[in-house]
Structure 1
Amino acid sequence: MKRDSLGNQAEQSDFNIHISLFADLSMYRVKDRQVDSGSQRVLMTHVNFSGCQFRTHLEIPARTDVQWVLKAKLGHYTTALKAIIVSGIQEDGLFRYEASWKMTAAERYSYQVRLNEYLQTMLISSPDILAFYRRISERYVFGGFRQFDVSS
Protein backbone atom coordinates (compact mmCIF):
# COMPACT_ATOMS: atom_id res chain seq x y z
CA MET A 1 0.00 0.00 0.00
CA LYS A 2 1.08 3.56 -0.68
CA ARG A 3 0.94 6.14 2.09
CA ASP A 4 -0.38 9.68 1.78
CA SER A 5 1.36 12.76 3.23
CA LEU A 6 -0.17 12.10 6.69
CA GLY A 7 1.11 8.51 6.75
CA ASN A 8 -2.33 6.94 6.15
CA GLN A 9 -2.67 4.01 3.82
CA ALA A 10 -3.84 5.06 0.36
CA GLU A 11 -5.36 2.92 -2.36
CA GLN A 12 -2.85 2.01 -5.06
CA SER A 13 -5.61 0.99 -7.42
CA ASP A 14 -7.30 4.38 -7.51
CA PHE A 15 -7.15 6.40 -10.70
CA ASN A 16 -7.79 10.06 -11.38
CA ILE A 17 -10.49 11.37 -13.64
CA HIS A 18 -9.16 14.55 -15.19
CA ILE A 19 -12.27 16.67 -15.19
CA SER A 20 -12.63 20.18 -13.84
CA LEU A 21 -15.61 21.00 -11.66
CA PHE A 22 -16.43 24.03 -9.60
CA ALA A 23 -17.39 23.21 -6.04
CA ASP A 24 -18.40 25.18 -2.95
CA LEU A 25 -16.08 24.43 -0.03
CA SER A 26 -17.30 24.90 3.52
CA MET A 27 -16.16 23.72 6.92
CA TYR A 28 -18.37 20.93 8.28
CA ARG A 29 -16.89 19.68 11.54
CA VAL A 30 -14.00 20.42 13.89
CA LYS A 31 -13.27 17.42 16.10
CA ASP A 32 -16.75 16.44 17.38
CA ARG A 33 -18.40 19.84 16.92
CA GLN A 34 -20.42 20.64 13.81
CA VAL A 35 -19.63 24.05 12.30
CA ASP A 36 -21.83 26.28 10.16
CA SER A 37 -19.44 28.25 7.97
CA GLY A 38 -19.76 30.21 4.78
CA SER A 39 -18.61 28.68 1.52
CA GLN A 40 -15.87 29.48 -0.96
CA ARG A 41 -15.86 28.51 -4.64
CA VAL A 42 -12.93 26.21 -5.54
CA LEU A 43 -11.86 24.39 -8.70
CA MET A 44 -11.67 20.60 -8.38
CA THR A 45 -9.15 19.35 -10.95
CA HIS A 46 -8.64 15.64 -10.28
CA VAL A 47 -11.50 13.55 -8.96
CA ASN A 48 -11.38 9.89 -7.98
CA PHE A 49 -13.15 7.43 -5.70
CA SER A 50 -10.97 8.24 -2.69
CA GLY A 51 -10.69 12.01 -2.99
CA CYS A 52 -9.82 14.98 -5.18
CA GLN A 53 -7.45 17.84 -5.78
CA PHE A 54 -8.70 21.40 -5.71
CA ARG A 55 -7.30 24.91 -6.07
CA THR A 56 -8.16 28.05 -4.14
CA HIS A 57 -6.61 31.25 -2.85
CA LEU A 58 -7.39 30.18 0.76
CA GLU A 59 -4.60 28.87 2.96
CA ILE A 60 -5.97 25.79 4.74
CA PRO A 61 -4.02 23.59 7.18
CA ALA A 62 -3.96 19.81 6.58
CA ARG A 63 -5.68 18.43 9.70
CA THR A 64 -7.41 15.10 10.20
CA ASP A 65 -9.74 16.52 12.89
CA VAL A 66 -11.33 19.06 10.50
CA GLN A 67 -13.91 17.87 7.97
CA TRP A 68 -14.94 19.91 4.96
CA VAL A 69 -17.83 19.64 2.51
CA LEU A 70 -17.35 20.07 -1.22
CA LYS A 71 -20.67 20.65 -2.99
CA ALA A 72 -20.42 20.06 -6.71
CA LYS A 73 -22.90 19.55 -9.50
CA LEU A 74 -22.55 16.24 -11.34
CA GLY A 75 -24.95 16.56 -14.23
CA HIS A 76 -28.46 16.92 -12.77
CA TYR A 77 -27.38 16.12 -9.21
CA THR A 78 -25.66 18.21 -6.58
CA THR A 79 -23.35 16.14 -4.40
CA ALA A 80 -22.16 17.12 -0.94
CA LEU A 81 -18.91 15.24 -0.36
CA LYS A 82 -17.32 15.24 3.10
CA ALA A 83 -13.53 15.31 3.07
CA ILE A 84 -10.38 16.01 5.04
CA ILE A 85 -7.45 17.88 3.57
CA VAL A 86 -4.36 15.68 3.59
CA SER A 87 -1.81 17.96 1.92
CA GLY A 88 -1.38 21.30 0.24
CA ILE A 89 1.23 23.26 -1.66
CA GLN A 90 1.38 26.78 -3.03
CA GLU A 91 1.85 27.15 -6.78
CA ASP A 92 1.19 29.96 -9.25
CA GLY A 93 -0.28 32.23 -6.57
CA LEU A 94 -2.88 29.66 -5.50
CA PHE A 95 -2.92 26.73 -3.11
CA ARG A 96 -3.43 23.20 -4.44
CA TYR A 97 -4.86 20.74 -1.94
CA GLU A 98 -5.42 17.01 -1.89
CA ALA A 99 -8.55 15.92 -0.07
CA SER A 100 -9.62 12.45 1.01
CA TRP A 101 -13.35 11.59 1.04
CA LYS A 102 -14.94 10.62 4.35
CA MET A 103 -17.96 8.51 3.32
CA THR A 104 -19.96 5.59 4.51
CA ALA A 105 -20.20 2.60 2.17
CA ALA A 106 -23.68 3.69 1.08
CA GLU A 107 -22.50 7.27 0.41
CA ARG A 108 -19.53 5.96 -1.58
CA TYR A 109 -21.80 3.76 -3.71
CA SER A 110 -24.20 6.66 -4.37
CA TYR A 111 -21.26 8.90 -5.28
CA GLN A 112 -19.91 6.31 -7.70
CA VAL A 113 -23.32 5.97 -9.38
CA ARG A 114 -23.62 9.77 -9.75
CA LEU A 115 -20.05 10.04 -11.06
CA ASN A 116 -20.70 7.24 -13.57
CA GLU A 117 -23.87 8.98 -14.79
CA TYR A 118 -22.01 12.28 -15.09
CA LEU A 119 -19.16 10.71 -17.04
CA GLN A 120 -21.60 8.89 -19.30
CA THR A 121 -23.11 12.26 -20.17
CA MET A 122 -19.68 13.84 -20.68
CA LEU A 123 -18.25 10.92 -22.68
CA ILE A 124 -21.29 10.13 -24.80
CA SER A 125 -19.23 10.70 -27.95
CA SER A 126 -16.56 8.21 -26.76
CA PRO A 127 -18.36 4.92 -26.00
CA ASP A 128 -15.09 2.92 -25.87
CA ILE A 129 -13.67 5.18 -23.16
CA LEU A 130 -16.96 4.98 -21.24
CA ALA A 131 -16.98 1.15 -21.40
CA PHE A 132 -13.36 1.07 -20.23
CA TYR A 133 -14.15 3.45 -17.34
CA ARG A 134 -17.15 1.32 -16.25
CA ARG A 135 -15.03 -1.83 -16.18
CA ILE A 136 -12.40 -0.08 -14.08
CA SER A 137 -14.95 1.39 -11.65
CA GLU A 138 -16.68 -1.97 -11.18
CA ARG A 139 -13.35 -3.63 -10.39
CA TYR A 140 -12.54 -0.85 -7.92
CA VAL A 141 -15.79 -1.38 -5.99
CA PHE A 142 -15.33 -5.13 -5.78
CA GLY A 143 -11.58 -5.01 -5.12
CA GLY A 144 -10.69 -6.61 -8.45
CA PHE A 145 -7.59 -4.58 -9.25
CA ARG A 146 -5.13 -7.36 -8.58
CA GLN A 147 -5.01 -8.20 -12.29
CA PHE A 148 -6.31 -6.05 -15.07
CA ASP A 149 -6.33 -7.20 -18.65
CA VAL A 150 -6.55 -4.12 -20.87
CA SER A 151 -6.74 -6.18 -24.04
CA SER A 152 -10.18 -7.64 -23.30
Structure 2
Amino acid sequence: MTTENSEKNYRDGKRFLKEDNTDKALRAFEKAYKEDKENAAYMSYYGMCAALRGGEMGMGLELCTKAIKREFHKVEFYINLGKVYMAVGNKKGALKVFKTGLRFDPNNSEINNYLVELGFRRKPVIPMLDRVNPINKFLGILLRRTIPGLIKKKV
Protein backbone atom coordinates (compact mmCIF):
# COMPACT_ATOMS: atom_id res chain seq x y z
CA MET A 1 0.00 0.00 0.00
CA THR A 2 1.37 3.40 -1.01
CA THR A 3 2.27 5.61 1.92
CA GLU A 4 3.53 9.18 2.12
CA ASN A 5 6.97 7.85 3.01
CA SER A 6 7.12 5.49 0.02
CA GLU A 7 5.91 8.27 -2.30
CA LYS A 8 8.60 10.60 -0.91
CA ASN A 9 11.27 7.93 -1.46
CA TYR A 10 10.01 7.47 -5.03
CA ARG A 11 10.16 11.22 -5.77
CA ASP A 12 13.63 11.41 -4.20
CA GLY A 13 14.76 8.48 -6.35
CA LYS A 14 13.60 10.20 -9.54
CA ARG A 15 15.37 13.39 -8.47
CA PHE A 16 18.58 11.44 -7.78
CA LEU A 17 18.32 9.83 -11.24
CA LYS A 18 18.07 13.27 -12.86
CA GLU A 19 21.17 14.29 -10.89
CA ASP A 20 22.96 11.13 -12.14
CA ASN A 21 23.31 9.77 -8.60
CA THR A 22 22.35 6.15 -9.23
CA ASP A 23 23.53 4.91 -5.82
CA LYS A 24 21.16 7.16 -3.89
CA ALA A 25 18.40 6.52 -6.44
CA LEU A 26 18.78 2.77 -5.94
CA ARG A 27 18.46 3.12 -2.16
CA ALA A 28 15.43 5.43 -2.45
CA PHE A 29 13.62 3.17 -4.94
CA GLU A 30 14.45 0.11 -2.85
CA LYS A 31 12.85 1.70 0.23
CA ALA A 32 9.77 2.70 -1.77
CA TYR A 33 9.46 -0.77 -3.32
CA LYS A 34 9.87 -2.57 0.00
CA GLU A 35 7.05 -0.48 1.50
CA ASP A 36 4.71 -1.14 -1.44
CA LYS A 37 5.62 -4.16 -3.55
CA GLU A 38 2.43 -3.85 -5.63
CA ASN A 39 3.14 -0.37 -7.06
CA ALA A 40 4.23 -0.76 -10.70
CA ALA A 41 6.22 2.50 -10.78
CA TYR A 42 8.27 1.54 -7.72
CA MET A 43 8.78 -1.90 -9.24
CA SER A 44 9.98 -0.57 -12.58
CA TYR A 45 12.39 2.03 -11.25
CA TYR A 46 13.78 -0.23 -8.53
CA GLY A 47 14.29 -2.99 -11.10
CA MET A 48 16.10 -0.64 -13.48
CA CYS A 49 18.39 0.77 -10.78
CA ALA A 50 19.06 -2.68 -9.31
CA ALA A 51 20.17 -3.87 -12.75
CA LEU A 52 22.17 -0.80 -13.77
CA ARG A 53 23.82 -0.01 -10.45
CA GLY A 54 23.50 -3.14 -8.37
CA GLY A 55 24.32 -5.56 -11.18
CA GLU A 56 21.22 -7.65 -10.46
CA MET A 57 20.20 -8.08 -14.09
CA GLY A 58 17.79 -10.97 -13.56
CA MET A 59 15.85 -9.18 -10.85
CA GLY A 60 15.86 -5.97 -12.90
CA LEU A 61 14.42 -7.70 -15.95
CA GLU A 62 11.83 -9.48 -13.83
CA LEU A 63 10.62 -6.37 -11.99
CA CYS A 64 10.53 -4.16 -15.09
CA THR A 65 8.61 -6.80 -17.06
CA LYS A 66 6.19 -7.30 -14.17
CA ALA A 67 5.57 -3.54 -13.99
CA ILE A 68 4.75 -3.43 -17.71
CA LYS A 69 2.31 -6.32 -17.31
CA ARG A 70 0.52 -4.35 -14.60
CA GLU A 71 0.45 -0.99 -16.38
CA PHE A 72 1.27 -1.59 -20.03
CA HIS A 73 0.41 1.94 -21.18
CA LYS A 74 3.20 3.72 -19.25
CA VAL A 75 6.00 4.61 -21.65
CA GLU A 76 8.53 5.23 -18.86
CA PHE A 77 8.31 1.53 -17.92
CA TYR A 78 9.33 0.55 -21.46
CA ILE A 79 12.24 2.98 -21.25
CA ASN A 80 13.37 1.40 -17.96
CA LEU A 81 13.13 -2.14 -19.36
CA GLY A 82 14.96 -1.05 -22.52
CA LYS A 83 17.79 0.38 -20.43
CA VAL A 84 18.10 -2.94 -18.60
CA TYR A 85 18.20 -4.85 -21.90
CA MET A 86 20.91 -2.48 -23.13
CA ALA A 87 22.93 -3.05 -19.94
CA VAL A 88 22.64 -6.82 -20.41
CA GLY A 89 23.83 -6.43 -24.01
CA ASN A 90 20.55 -7.59 -25.55
CA LYS A 91 20.23 -5.06 -28.38
CA LYS A 92 17.40 -6.98 -30.07
CA GLY A 93 15.36 -7.05 -26.85
CA ALA A 94 15.97 -3.34 -26.25
CA LEU A 95 14.87 -2.46 -29.79
CA LYS A 96 11.70 -4.51 -29.42
CA VAL A 97 10.82 -2.89 -26.07
CA PHE A 98 11.52 0.63 -27.32
CA LYS A 99 9.42 0.05 -30.46
CA THR A 100 6.56 -1.19 -28.27
CA GLY A 101 6.86 1.92 -26.12
CA LEU A 102 6.63 4.07 -29.24
CA ARG A 103 3.17 2.64 -29.91
CA PHE A 104 1.93 4.44 -26.80
CA ASP A 105 3.86 7.68 -27.41
CA PRO A 106 5.18 7.93 -30.99
CA ASN A 107 6.86 11.29 -30.35
CA ASN A 108 8.77 10.29 -27.22
CA SER A 109 12.18 11.89 -27.69
CA GLU A 110 13.92 9.72 -25.08
CA ILE A 111 12.92 6.48 -26.82
CA ASN A 112 13.83 7.93 -30.22
CA ASN A 113 17.27 8.91 -28.87
CA TYR A 114 17.84 5.36 -27.61
CA LEU A 115 16.77 3.93 -30.97
CA VAL A 116 19.25 6.21 -32.74
CA GLU A 117 21.94 5.18 -30.24
CA LEU A 118 21.21 1.51 -30.94
CA GLY A 119 21.38 2.10 -34.69
CA PHE A 120 17.70 1.52 -35.40
CA ARG A 121 16.77 1.96 -39.04
CA ARG A 122 13.37 2.02 -40.64
CA LYS A 123 12.60 -0.38 -43.45
CA PRO A 124 13.55 0.83 -46.93
CA VAL A 125 10.73 2.62 -48.78
CA ILE A 126 10.82 0.00 -51.54
CA PRO A 127 11.70 -3.26 -49.73
CA MET A 128 12.60 -5.21 -52.89
CA LEU A 129 15.38 -2.72 -53.69
CA ASP A 130 18.60 -2.61 -51.71
CA ARG A 131 18.89 0.02 -48.94
CA VAL A 132 21.76 1.79 -50.77
CA ASN A 133 19.86 2.00 -54.07
CA PRO A 134 19.66 5.69 -55.10
CA ILE A 135 15.89 5.47 -55.63
CA ASN A 136 15.38 4.15 -52.09
CA LYS A 137 17.70 6.80 -50.67
CA PHE A 138 15.93 9.63 -52.51
CA LEU A 139 12.42 8.44 -51.57
CA GLY A 140 13.49 7.88 -47.97
CA ILE A 141 14.86 11.39 -47.63
CA LEU A 142 11.81 12.84 -49.36
CA LEU A 143 9.20 10.93 -47.35
CA ARG A 144 10.84 10.91 -43.94
CA ARG A 145 12.63 14.25 -43.76
CA THR A 146 11.52 16.74 -46.38
CA ILE A 147 7.73 16.28 -46.46
CA PRO A 148 7.27 16.09 -42.64
CA GLY A 149 9.47 19.21 -42.35
CA LEU A 150 7.28 21.07 -44.83
CA ILE A 151 4.10 20.06 -43.02
CA LYS A 152 5.44 21.27 -39.65
CA LYS A 153 6.38 24.66 -41.14
CA LYS A 154 2.83 25.22 -42.46
CA VAL A 155 1.19 24.45 -39.11
* TM-score normalised over the length of structure 1: 0.30
Which structure shows the bigger proportion of residues in helix conformation? 2
Which structure shows the bigger proportion of residues in strand conformation? 1
Q: Which structure has more RCO (C-alpha within 8 Å, separation ≥ 6)?
A: 1
